[in-house]
Structure 1
Amino acid sequence: MSATPTPTDAFPAPTPRRLLAAAWALRIQFFVSGALFATWGVHVPTVKAHYGIGEQALALAMLASGVGALLALTQAGRVIGRFGPRGVAGLTGLVCASGVSLLLTPSVYGGLVGILLLFGATASLFDVAINAEATEIEHLAGRPLMSGFHAMFSLGGMVGAGVGSLLPLLGWTPGTHLATACGVAVLLILGACAAMLKMRAAGGEKQPMSLPRGVLALIGTLAALGLIAEGAMYDWSVLFMKQERGSSASVSALGYASFSLAMALGRFAGDWVRARVAPVPLMVASGLMAASGMALALLVPVEQAGLLGFALVGLGLSNVVPVLFSAAAKVPGVSAAHGIAAVSSLGYLGMMAGPPLIGMVAEHSSLTAGLACVVVFAVFMALSAGRALGGARAPGSTEGGVGATS
């Protein structure tokens, strides 16, 4: 049943130099993905003001992004199996970048909903495609690499948020920023695709993805809990700093940047950590740190506490997705793309549907109350780690290791 994409299905195994080039190309793709999410996150207040909507309407528009992602993920294994990660990443990456550039173009709310629906669908396929290739590159290299790939996503988020913080001080308009970000992303995606490996599953996935079951469902539940917290940072951290703490636009953007910087640092060290620490204790520590950081940001009403708290959330969540996607890619009987897509279906439900849920709570109470949900979810993630990953080993183990992914 398994149809894991490998170079040997249709192409010779890559030389060490070719593998190194492909790995760096993939790092660029992860960087672009993170930067695009950050560009959207930085402009959430801008979008809110442009369309003249409240938190609940904004949350529903975000939910459209989640719906698009979930619909796309039902076909991700089949599409990537047929066209290969490189082809899917190229097309969906370009469409995703174009969607970001169009965020402020419509004058009506329905236009925003349509753009976010397209953004969610293409971003999810882009994510699964680059993760599927990352799994194979890690396998071919014979050592943990996944956390490092995801570190580039976080670095892209940090750079995207940092640029978004700086440009208003230089007089750039939001529209100019979005158009420029799209142009740079398109160039990077095209250049990176040229160096990615040619991988194609023989015949592709035979059936569309079904709902995750068994171990995939448990892993996916943890992914959803972790990505609720991560999605909250993407969509609400800037607005929280501006609205709840009265911060300037530049300082508000630094809230997202502090989260992304801490997550990037945690992931750059993550491959070393994952080779030495078993998944369960790593997941428990991650959940508790994320919960503590969010509680600090919410309970101490000063800007500095918000920045520090968001950094702790980023550090706590830094290796959650690499561990979980790696485990999903190694489930017996399914391809890497199918396993990642199955877990992503629940993960995206958290990442995309979680922030709208927070927005609805904020509409009827406060954004502080909405973000308090993240504390609860992070604690639950820590408490449920043993059941979901109790049989997994660290990547450095000689048997059954979780040594690839996300």
Structure 2
Amino acid sequence: MTSVSARMRWASRAQFFGSGFIFATWGVHIPTVKIHYGVDEAALGLAMLAAGVGALLGLTQASRWIGRHGARGTAGLCGAIYALLLAGLLAMPSYGALLGLLAVFGVLTGVFDVAINTEAAQLELRNGHPMMSGMHGMFSLGGMAGAVTGGAALAAGMTPQSHLTLVAATMALSIALSSRWMLPKEATTFTSTGDGFRLPHGALAILGVLAALGLIAEGAIYDWSVLYLKQELGSPQQQAALAYASFSAAMAATRFAGDAMRARFSPALLLRGSAWLAAASMTLVLLADEPWLALIGFAGVGAGFANVVPILFAASARVPGVEPARGIAAVSAAAYLGFMAGPPVIGFLAQVSSLTAALYVVVAFAAALAASARYANPA
């Protein structure tokens, strides 16, 4: 069995950081995209749905690609192209062309996400102690950095297109280079690769549903928090970007402490407490009439959701009779469907009611996670 070197750990962390940074950059520019193409919330939700459909198509092939090429090759190629597509978000000739770009964006995002989580699960198993929370902490740290630098770039007068192009080039290079030091191909290939995508069943299905609930709520914050602060509370876009930054910063800090928490508390207890914190904090956001109070609430939501995915992904790698890599890929796929489905659902609900009312979905799903936390205990 390949030992886990410091270089391998940092390579995986770089992949998660890059994923968070890219996603934050998209989140910061959602209001820009809305204005640039002259669309309303429903059309913006449809654009996010296009990315979700693309992710679904990618997820049907993610296990096959990883099984054939390993997490390293899959993450390096898909992640670099995924980053480069950022540069096209404001360069499409029409709204219809944007939908096509976001569909491809979704395909690559889904495959990249499964690949890096498969890598992280294998590193944790080989290392012999919790590592998954720390890896996801790097995603949140990347999200915080992407949001802060995005807001700073806009405040400094950098054009949105220049900012997107700079981030695209930098992240593509970082992901491509760091993938060279991930686990070798044979460490993350499956013993059988011909099955393609199969929906999880049994214990994996339960874990997948719970992860999807968490990521529907988390995805809603990533994609709608900036617009919420700008549109519902009247904040300028530079200040509104802090909604994403406060959420990601709190999530990162909690995830970096999460491995120690996972070693001390049972998965069910930690998941239950985390979910109730997220529900209470999101309620504060939606009842607040001052931006600073909403920012505190977004931080609480980030802390609450921080360990949901690491707990559930780690559990999926320990399901009896299932290869760890296939288990994490299956639950990642189900969870990612939730991650991509959440934002467009919020968009359509916002169109028929209001963005504030639509975001109560986050409260409801966090409460559902708390009520179902017992299923997170290892078999």
Letter in structure 1 aligned against 2:347: G
Q: How does 1:18-97 map to 2 (within 5 A)?
A: 19-97=5-83
Match of 2:110 in 1: 124
Q: Which runs of 5+ in 1 are unaligned?
A: 1-7, 393-399, 401-406
Please report how far the alpha carbon of residue 267 of structure 1 lies from its aligned counterpart in structure 2 after TM superposition. 0.3
AA aligned opposite 2:359 = L
- The unaligned stretches of length 5 or more in structure 2 are none
Cα 1:384–1:202 change in 2 (3 A) is closer
Identity %: 53
Contact map agreement 1:76 1:338 (CA 8 A) in 2: no
Say if 2:190 and 2:325, in contact at 8 Å, map to a contact too.
no
- Counterpart of 1:252 in structure 2 is 240
Residue by residue over 1:130-176, the C-alpha shift from the partner in whole angstroms, topping out at 9 and shown as x without a partner, is: 11111111122211111111100000000000011101121100000
Aligned to 1:299: 287
Instruction: Write the letter of the residue equivalent to 2:211.
Output: A
Does residue 212 in structure 1 map to residue 200 in structure 2? yes
Partner of 1:288 in structure 2? 276
1:104 aligns with 2:90: yes
Q: 1:36 Cα deviation (Å)?
A: 0.4
Give the aligned partner of residue 365 of structure 1.
353
Cα distance between partner residues in 1 of 2:85 and 2:237: 23
- Find out whether 1:347 has 2:330 as its counterpart: no
Q: Distance in 2 between matches of 1:223 and 1:202?
A: 23
Q: CA deviation at 1:360?
A: 0.6
Which whole-Å deviations, capped at 9, do the CAs of 1:280-311 have from their partners, x for residues lacking one?
A: 11111111111111110100111011101110
Partner of residue 383, structure 1 = 371
Q: Does the CA-based 8 Å contact 1:76-1:337 persist in structure 2?
A: no
Q: Relative to structure 2, which stretch is displaced further, 324-333 or 95-104?
A: 324-333
Looking at structure 1, the residues matched to 126 and 333 of structure 2 have their Cα atoms a distance apart, in angstroms, of: 26
TM, length-normalised to structure 2 = 0.97
Q: Which portions of structure 1, spanning 4 or more consecutive aligned residues, are displaced by more than 6 angstroms?
A: none
Distance 2:145 2:41 in 1: 26
Q: Is the 8 A contact 1:37 1:157 kept in 2?
A: yes
Measure the CA separation in 2 of the matches of 1:241 and 1:202.
44
Compared with structure 1, are the counterparts of its residues 379 and 112 closer, same or farther at alpha carbon in structure 2 (3 Å cutoff)? same
Shift of 1:250: 1.0
Give the TM-score normalised by the residue count of structure 1.
0.90
Of the structure 1 ranges 332-341 and 41-50, higher mean CA displacement relative to structure 2 is found in 332-341
Count how many residue pairs are aligned between Structure 1 and Structure 2: 377
In structure 2, what residue type is equivalent to 1:263?
M
Structure with the higher helix share, 1 or 2: 2
Cross-structure match for 1:178: 164
- 1:140 equivalent in alignment to 2:126: yes
